[in-house]
């Protein structure tokens, strides 16, 4: 139903045909590990990829399948694959793009976990990552591409400062080199931005955050545009014949032979999901589907709450700076106007002007804002990132991301803006009493 309907219709109904599920109105939870194979002739067809019904829930499941189809339609993507966490989505995508001996070129402004994996884990498995220290300088991306670089990785809206990369220009750099642009669109959600509109080849999400928005599930997603040419000479690992992909006559086939329209997610499912195993459970897929139904309404309200809180913070004497494209003199205003006409997200950071002790008192005093390491929840959240979410960052990485110890990060939820502002006000009063 993708071409016929608008985003808000697809987020509620896309990818699901109740007639195929006993006319159930709500997407059923197929809580089963395996599926009967029928006769051995059908089993042959299933195991040679000529038929694609579910076999085993690690590889696919009808509940998860509806989520994947719905997300594909919301992005106009060729295919999607749901995974057990956002970190699985990030690391599987990078491994899949790089293949054996490939490198990744990545922005320095990233989720702390992604950045730390570059130095702490990926070299163990042969994946080397080069860092673009100033992603606002497009020529740094150009200069950073080496002969064996296989993808550029960026976040469309960074955490905690909501900086915005010029996606279209970075996509052009990637495509001139014949390599993939992978965009982590977690903070933006597809309601605010569809990175495929600006040249992204692969989009990844932590669905744990705003995409689901309930704060009740850990999940991840990888989507592919279906437009990238994997036969361009840089992706030998998609062309290599593999025994396990053989046809009924025992002829070996490549990923591109078996999954011509969705090679990236096809390979990711056949190898990374299959052998590294971070499968999303059917129940968790159901929870993500429930969250998606209200995506636009939630994010629109969160963006409005962010604007109200930014205005309050900007006139507060205990606030030394506010960073968000909607804050005064923010350098990302023009890019926000281009890429985020519906709003530049609901993660807002500010500088706390006071002692370390007063900052701790302030954090302990909020009652509506919940002190926790998450974002994109229906509840409003508050945290001191340097000591918590971004604790992995070295001093150099901190400097690159501009993270100082006075930083306080807010993720605006769905509460009344009046109560949110009053809560911050009373916490400032406690801290400075």
**Chain residues that interact with ligand PLP, rule: CB under 6 A:** 85-87, 90, 111, 113-114, 155, 159, 184, 186-187, 206, 208-209, 218, 220
Distance in Å, CB of 254 to ligand PLP, minimum: 30
Contact 255, 270 (CB under 8 A): yes
Return the number of other C-beta atoms located less than 10 Å from residue 242's C-beta.
16
Nearer to ligand PLP, 63 or 114 (CB): 114
406: Cα separation from own chain's centroid: 27
Q: Which residue is nearest to ligand PLP (CB)?
A: 86
In angstroms, give the least distance from the CB of 287 to ligand PLP.
13
How many Å separate Cα 204 from the centre of its chain? 4
Q: Which is nearer to ligand PLP, 86 or 99 (CB)?
A: 86
Considering the complex, state which of residue 177 and residue 221 has its C-beta at the smaller distance from ligand PLP.
221
Q: Within the chain, what is the greatest distance between any pair of CA atoms?
A: 80
> Whole-number minimum distance, CB 248 to ligand PLP, in Å?
39
103 strand-pairing partners: 128, 149
Minimum CB distance to ligand PLP, residue 309 (Å)? 20
Residue 20 or 392 with smaller CB distance to ligand PLP: 392
CA-to-CA separations, 204 to 121, 376, 403, in angstroms, rounded: 19, 16, 24
Q: Which is nearer to ligand PLP, 32 or 374 (CB)?
A: 374
Smallest distance from ligand PLP to CB 316, Å: 27
CB atoms within 10 A of CB 34: 10
| Residue 431 vs residues 118, 189, 364, 365, 388: alpha-carbon distances, Å | 38, 34, 9, 8, 20
Q: Helices 417-431 and 295-314 sit at what angle, rounded to 10 degrees?
A: 40
Interior angle at CA 174, CA 169 and CA 179, nearest 5: 160
Question: Which helix (H) or strand (E) is 56 found in, with range?
Answer: none
Question: Measured from the CB of residue 71, what is the shortest distance to ligand PLP in angstroms?
Answer: 15
Closer of 184 and 423 to ligand PLP (Cβ): 184
Output 156 or 234, the one with its CB closest to ligand PLP.
156
Element (H, E) at 368: none
CB of 30 to ligand PLP, least distance (A): 22
Place of tokens 């005064």: 328
- Helix, strand, or coil here: 166? coil
Choose among 160, 195, 191, 194: nearest CA to 327.
160
SS3 364: helix
From residue 220, alpha-carbon distances to 187, 194, 260 in Å are: 13, 17, 24
Nearer to ligand PLP by C-beta: 115 or 421?
115
Give least dist CB 114 to ligand PLP, A. Answer: 6
State which residue, 188 or 255, has the beta carbon closest to ligand PLP: 188
Q: How far is the CB of 187 from ligand PLP (least distance, A)?
A: 6
């Amino acid at each position: 139903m993708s071409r016929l309907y608008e985003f808000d219709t697809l987020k509620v109904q896309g990818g699901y045909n109740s007639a195929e599920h006993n006319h159930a109105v709500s997407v059923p939870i197929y809580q089963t590990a395996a599926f009967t194979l029928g006769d051995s002739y059908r089993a042959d067809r299933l195991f040679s990829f000529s038929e694609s019904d579910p076999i085993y829930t690690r590889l696919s499941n009808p509940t998860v399948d509806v989520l994947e189809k719905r997300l594909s339609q919301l992005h106009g993507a060729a295919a999607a694959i749901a995974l057990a966490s956002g970190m699985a989505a990030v690391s599987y995508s990078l491994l899949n793009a790089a293949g054996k001996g490939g490198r990744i070129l990545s922005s320095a402004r990233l989720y702390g976990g992604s950045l730390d994996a570059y130095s702490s884990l990926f070299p163990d498995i042969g994946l080397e990552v080069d860092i673009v220290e100033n992603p606002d300088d497009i020529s740094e991306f150009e200069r950073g591409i080496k002969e064996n670089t296989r993808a550029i990785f960026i976040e469309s809206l960074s955490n905690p400062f909501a900086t915005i990369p010029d996606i279209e220009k970075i996509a052009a750099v990637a495509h001139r080199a014949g390599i993939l642009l992978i965009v982590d669109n977690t903070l933006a959600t597809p309601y605010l931005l569809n990175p495929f509109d600006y040249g992204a080849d692969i989009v990844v999400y932590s669905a744990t955050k705003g995409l689901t928005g309930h704060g009740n599930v850990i999940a991840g997603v990888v989507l592919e545009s279906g437009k990238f040419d994997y036969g361009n000479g840089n992706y030998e690992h998609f062309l290599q014949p593999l025994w396990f992909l053989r046809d009924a006559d025992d002829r070996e086939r490549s990923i591109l032979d078996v999954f011509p329209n969705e090679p990236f997610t096809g390979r990711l499912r056949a190898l990374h999901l299959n052998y590294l195993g971070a499968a999303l459970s059917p129940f968790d897929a159901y929870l993500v589907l429930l969250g998606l139904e209200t995506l636009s309404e939630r994010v629109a309200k969160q963006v409005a709450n962010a604007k109200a809180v930014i205005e309050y913070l900007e006139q507060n004497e205990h606030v030394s700076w506010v960073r968000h494209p909607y804050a005064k003199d923010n350098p990302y205003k023009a890019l926000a106007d281009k890429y985020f006409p519906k709003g530049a997200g609901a993660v807002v950071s500010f500088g706390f002007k006071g002692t370390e002790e007063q900052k701790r008192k302030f954090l302990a005093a909020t009652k509506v804002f919940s002190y926790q390491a998450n974002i994109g929840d229906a509840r409003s959240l508050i945290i001191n990132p340097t000591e918590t979410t971004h604790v992995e960052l070295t001093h150099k990485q901190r400097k690159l991301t501009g993270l100082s110890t006075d930083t306080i990060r807010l993720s605006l939820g769905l509460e009344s803006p009046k109560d949110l502002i009053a809560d911050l006000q009373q916490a400032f009063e406690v801290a400075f009493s």
